[in-house]
Amino acid sequence: MAREKPVRYSSEQLEDFTDNFTTVLGSGGFGVVFKGVLPINGVNLAVKLLNKNWDKRVEEQFMAEVGTFGRTYHINLVRLYGFCFDPSMRALVYEYMENGSLDKILFDESREIEWEKLHDIAVQTAKGLAYLHEECERKIIHYDIKPGNVLLDKNLNPKVADFGLAKLCNREGSQATLVADGRGTPGYAAQEMWKPYPVTHKCDVYSFGILLFETGKETTFRRKFKRIATMV
């Protein structure tokens, strides 16, 4: 299933998959994510139901996700199984990631993770980005790399997700024209993304660097905190 092209589902099918959208996994600025199950084989799904006020940005996100995910297959990218483009519903159907997003581990003091595993997560995330930038037929710039967009499976293997801001650019050219519309997340976005400058794939590298910094910072803080608590 993971190697098939995205399938178009009806709104009735998604209501069936999600038990009428009962279990919420999370939410964001563009919509709510529900847990679902594919009846034919019992595969778990994550169904992102986009907001019904389908303004230009929501439509752009939908088209960016389908347009980029439909071109990719890599072990460190979340797989898009399908989508819904009905008059009453816009939705995206992804593979289900059991451990949620990386930020829930980094910023939750009650959850522990070994330094070696964090290193492995960083390396695998970098491999996913390298695939987008160097191995696709057309280069894909993600534009929103951050811990919240790195999801973890049951074995804590990472996969880059949320391609709603992504853009394709030709391999012959290294730049993509980007309007200064506040694209990206403050604190993670490179400065040029907030100004009317040409933007390259290096903006993803900058954001990945911030992700690495936060990973190391949080781990160091926890180790110091545990040592202090032990002394007390």
Assess whether 144 carries a catalytic annotation.
yes
CA distance 91 to 10: 10
Name, in order, each residue with C-beta under 8 angstroms of 133's C-beta and a sequence gap of 6 or more: 139, 140, 141, 201, 204
pTM: 0.84
Is the pLDDT confidence value at 58 over 80? no
167 annotated to bind ligand: no
Is CATH 1.10.510.10 the right assignment for the domain spanning 102-231?
yes
Per-residue pLDDT tens digits for 124-141? 999 999 999 998 877 888
Per the CATH hierarchy, to which homologous superfamily does domain 7-95 belong? Phosphorylase Kinase; domain 1 (3.30.200.20)
| Secondary structure element (H or E) that encloses residue 219, with its range | helix 202-231
Per-residue pLDDT tens digits for 178-189? 544 556 788 898
Domain locations in the chain as residue ranges: 7-95, 102-231
Catalytic residue among 16, 86, 103, 144: 144
- Mean pLDDT computed over 206-213: 93
Task: Let me know how many helices (H) and strands (E) the chain has, helices first.
Answer: 5, 12
